[in-house]
Structure 1
């Protein structure tokens, strides 16, 4: 019998020709307890079902929608799921989290995960519920934005279905295409391209069962307490201004990447700031499914309509490209939503191309820093994979730099092929380490070490052992939150995170989990991700930053410069390996492999 909160099975679906077949993979208590769900369980499933060195866009490459024991409970922010696959952008493991009713309906098909393999003969939708699976041709959805595809799917199949869909970029296998649902996105790493390669425009799920918890009264009491605390000061910033509140703060302390990381302050930042936009354009605040925080802020757009804006899409399409006009940034963000593109990778790749144009390496003189009008033109070319520039930039900055050559890889803003988020590594050196060693690549959600830098817990300009401890700690906490799954915006609500998380997990599952076990679980999940990448060819040479960050001092608003050398970063990376129990090449030791339960 499965523990509370779980069904103890994953559905393995093969799509091929004009039909879909399915088989059940039993998930025993040991595996569920070792990986929890979400990103953790997704990593275990990829180890089991992805052939070694498989092309991420090959039919046999799996893509998994993974739920957790908390999905469907009244715990705030628990309506989340992970999409896990081998990334076509990086060639390594990627997982992206998202919140919507899709999570609840997907789990209540009676499965803890849905794994999709194969390739349909024509563009189709995949339907999964308690009665099984079926594949339906859907040529009429070709070329539609994900939101329109969702609407048409509901009209065709009924409102009881919940939908995750791809846009035109996913159909054309742009390497950083997203999977979208209810206006939200599993964005990073190109998961939409993986689904597009399978000729699946959308996955539809319908709830047909229920799942119990071990202690209903305890879960209800914990839910009420967590909801009350979620309205406290730890989440006030997100409720009042959203993540965009970070923009002016980062600009003030020279951590706002600008013009492809050539600067860390942006003169146009006030025009894009949450404070300015909230006053002039704020129209609504919204929440994800089953969330009491409400971090989503909606702004009016020029010419009508509205747009959800967050720090990362504003940073990537604004300061990173030198663009300060909010109308241009709003329009570019809306275009990414329409096409189904990750805004961070889109902005980072365009910013790299703008610098290549400046240097005479790409002959597209119209593509200039600071001209917001060119963003839409560039994004349209990427979404269409138009010959020349569109096809080049659809590869992402790492692969594009390999094509252009001439030293352009030195300023491509990526780690392991994934474009950097809006944090300047030279002035945030705990974050520099976190970005360098993270299994997904340059990632602020799987390694939030910037918290230590910005809190003053460490000297953010001089990395050392304290920074290693901060990076490991935030990586462990993220591993648990991404697997249970809980929203990162709750992290400040927990005074004793591992103890409180263990209590929640025990109430739901019936396991006698304590903080020490959960810390071990976090370390296991981090090791499992590295072991997958190790299997796929990753080496210690990948645990680094672009040459620009390690060779060029960063000018700051204070008049000083911030410097991070290759030797300084390597010393932290070596210390990270020791702390993680890895060998000197950053590999998981053979003696630790049995603990990962891959056999």
Structure 2
């Protein structure tokens, strides 16, 4: 192989933590150009290195930290990475994105990805720098929160190290445990449990290998222009109030999931609104590494608990569970961070359990909608896998299979991943996006809500136009998740594929145009589906829970919303056709961009 393209190292480091050995995996240009980085390259690595049918928590299951050609450049929001593995929650592909200095330090070790396989004999930390990898004892950190473990590792080895760590939930195999770093989280799908199953508490990185770009002056000019545009109206709400500004807006248009999706409005939404919390409980604002937007808002409860607040954690721990006390919701969010668990899956699973109690299906009479103390108790039991937490730590799909009694009909998941804060019956492009997404019920890999809110479509009645819009947002997300850019920049780009192609050319030296980049997006989307097909996906997995289909959702003033199953079926069939799939969701022909042609 010749020298790597600009922005790339041209190799991945694969570490077997069973004995601490490591190997370098060359990444040829056609693989890098075909999958870019982040989620795309992570999918390729998982397909190549993961044995077919491997159990997600088995030693042989790989977990990859994947960077991109933009990491280390001055481009705003570029300090991002993907963590990619087979999810213990879904049994399918999962990629979780996050932003921090870990991305920069990891890339500067001289690798485009760091892949962990095996299982350490004793709890260990994995340290990787430009000289290679080594294991050190983690007995001191085991049992700590991720933040405390990270601080302990840096105090022990030096401040230049950056660590991604798991909390107690990851150690105990909670199926929606997170991997955390710099107070941020690779949150969805249980990747913290995968790292915990390998007996690894922290992966720490330190590097000094600079990665040159092809046209430095052009990249600097683009970075200056993009930074200027990032201060414009497209990002204003994120800067001023953060994503929590969505809560009152969603409540007003009947799309705020409440009491396990039994309602789409929450009477006490104002108590949890960004406007109210910012005035009474704001502590600080902050930014991710290399970010000019600054969407992070930190609030404190009256009890002193501090939490980084976003729409999704407030929705999941507030309206979804019927809890309106802001102090209890903030404390619950902080508790999730301490334990290292995904707030969306935690809130969804607890809300399902609350409904089970309400229906007499689960013997936990203390676990009731609207009871903030019960919410906090449930989180504590999930983190320790004690009491009802032993059941809820499995996620709503597995818990419903255990409880039975028809409780699967209202378990709020797709493919095992709990739904985010969007009501599918009143956002029917989003309903499709949730149903067909490779990761499961997810709002970041699809982004179909954009079509519901800004596409000029009737969001209460899904059609083929909704499908085409959803496909477009999914393609854009595939590129943004692989380059990697923050989704909050999406409104800044006026001609996204043209601009991204030009930028990629400046960084790498490749002659890339928008047509090639659109083909790359399709390749990445289908590569995720191909991986899932290999791991046992069936057409029944591309569907929504029974709760959302057929019945009417009361909207007030005599209005209702309905998503008939035949309408969802028609949208899914149209989606398959748009993607070149048969009615069974499988490829009709072997693509010229097949996995075999992308092997090194």
> Could you state the TM-score of these two structures normalised by the residue count of structure 2?
0.98
Matches within 5 A, 1:97-112: 97-112=97-112
1:294 and 1:162 mapped to 2: Cα distance?
A: 21
Query: How far has the Cα of 1:56 moved from its partner?
Result: 0.2
Contact 1:385 1:394 (C-alpha < 8 Å) held by counterparts: yes
Q: Which residue of 2 aligns with 1:234?
A: 234
Q: Quote the residue 1:225 is aligned against.
A: 225
Partner in structure 2 of residue 153 of structure 1 = 153
Aligned partners of 2:75 and 2:223 also within 8 Å = yes
User: How far off is 1:142 after superposition?
Assistant: 1.3
Inter-partner Cα distance in structure 2 for 1:555 and 1:71? 47
Superimposed CA distance per residue, residues 252-307 of structure 1 (whole angstroms, 9 cap, x where no aligned partner): 00000000000000001000000111121222211000000000011122133532
- Aligned partner of 2:16 among 14, 17, 20: 14
Residue 594 of structure 1 and its aligned partner are, at CA, apart by 4.8
Map 1:75-114; keep pairs closer than 5 Å.
75-114=75-114
Give the aligned partner of residue 428 of structure 2: 429
Q: Is the 8 A contact 1:163 1:205 kept in 2?
A: yes
Distance 1:460 1:304 in 2: 41
Residues 93-124 of structure 1 show CA distances to partners (whole Å, capped at 9, x for unaligned) of 00000000000000110000000000000100
Report how far residue 208 of structure 1 moved: 2.5
Determine helix, strand or coil for the equivalent of 1:592: coil
Q: 1:207 deviation in Å?
A: 1.0
**Shift of residue 583 of structure 1?**
1.6
Q: Is contact 1:164-1:180 (8 Å) kept?
A: yes
Displacement of 1:587 in angstroms is 1.1
Q: Does 1:444 align with 2:446?
A: no
* Cα distance between partner residues in 1 of 2:363 and 2:277: 36
Deviation string 1:200-223 (CA, Å, 9 cap, x unpaired) is 000000013110000000000000
Q: Tell me the C-alpha RMSD between the 2 structures.
A: 0.9
Between the aligned partners of 1:54 and 1:241, the Cα distance in structure 2 is 43
Say if 1:11 and 1:114, in contact at 8 Å, map to a contact too: yes
Number of aligned residue pairs: 596
Distance 2:592 2:557 in 1: 48
Residue in 1 aligned with 2:462? Answer: 463
Q: Secondary structure at the match of 1:498?
A: helix
- 1:441-480 CA distance string (max 9 Å, x none): 0000001111111125211011110110111011000000
Q: How does 1:106-185 map to 2 (within 5 A)?
A: 106-185=106-185
Q: What is the match of residue 498 of structure 1? A: 497
- Mapping for residues 220-369 of structure 1, pairs under 5 Å: 220-369=220-369
**Which structure 1 residue ranges, 5 or more long, are not aligned?**
none
1:1-43 deviation digits (Å, cap 9, x = unpaired): 1100001000011011xx3011011000000000000000000
Question: 1:265·1:557 contact (CA, 8 Å) conserved in 2?
Answer: no
- The answer on whether the counterparts of 1:48 and 1:598 sit within 8 Å (CA) in structure 2 is no
Paired with 1:473 and 1:558, the residues of 2 have a C-alpha distance of 35
2:406 counterpart residue number: 407
The match for 2:6 is 4
What secondary structure, in the 3-state scheme, does the structure 2 residue paired with 1:312 have? helix
CA contact (8 A) 1:100 1:288 kept: yes
5+ long unaligned stretches in structure 2:
none
Q: Deviation at 1:557?
A: 3.5
The more displaced of 84-93 and 453-462 is: 453-462
Quote the Cα distance in structure 2 between the aligned partners of 1:20 and 1:278: 47
Partners in 1 of 2:220 and 2:273 — Cα distance? 39
Whether the aligned pair in 2 keeps the contact of 1:64 and 1:113 (CA below 8 Å) is: yes
Runs of 4 or more off by more than 6 Å in structure 1?
none
Deviation at 1:308, TM superposition (A): 1.2
Deviations 1:174-195 (A, max 9, x none): 0000000000000000000000
> Are the counterparts in 1 of residues 305 and 334 from structure 2 also a CA contact under 8 Å?
no
1:392 pairs with 2:394: no
CA contact (8 A) 1:254 1:557 kept: no
Instruction: Give the superposition deviation at 1:595.
Output: 2.9
